[in-house]
Every structure is written in C-alpha cells, then in structure tokens.
Amino acid sequence: MIQDEGLQEIAMTIIANAGASKGASFGALEEARAGRYDEAEVLLKESDAALSEAQRSHRELLQLDALGKVPQVDILLSHCQDHFMMATLARDLVTELVRMYRLINSK
C-alpha cells in the first residue's frame, strides 16, 4: 500500500493544478467578454497546461488504485476529484463561451 503522505501529495497536486486551470479559464472568460480574444486564448492555453498536469496526477492515482495500492477513498481524495471535474467542466464551457463571444461580436 502507498503511504498516506503519497496519496495526500497526489491529491494536493490535483487540487492545485485544477484550481489554476479553473482560474485561468474564468480569466479567459473575462477577457473574451471585454473583446480581448488573444488574451483569452493565452489564458485558455494556461488552463490546458494546468489541467494536463492535474490529469497526469489523476492518472497516477487511478493506476495506484488499479494496483490495489489505495487503501480507501477519504475526503481529501473525494475533494480532489471534485476539483478535477469542475476544472474540466469550466475549461470546456469557457472554451465554448469564448467562441460564442467571438462569433457574436464579429457581426
């Protein structure tokens, strides 16, 4: 079994990167709302990079679980999963909203 500290480190890495991704996504939305699409795209790329790091850690967690090395799911692991899912959803929705702002404002 993996030590609790190892699981905590993975969970905190997911939370930190998911938070950075979500923050960059909503920053991109503000930029798009203001008509600054280049800045919005830069922030979406930052969001993607942070989300990729969260996904890497999430994959590691899933692999450990598949090997039977995660003794039980605790509140921290559940919390990191929530952050990961919300960041993924935020990035996807904001990407669409930026496209919509661009389309609407181009007419």
Closest CA to 104 of 2, 32, 23, 18: 32
Is 82 labelled a binding residue?
A: yes
Within 8 A by CB and 6+ apart from 81, the residues are 14
Which residues are marked as active site? 79
- Number of neighbours of residue 12 by Cβ within 10 angstroms: 14
- Residue numbering of the annotated binding site: 82
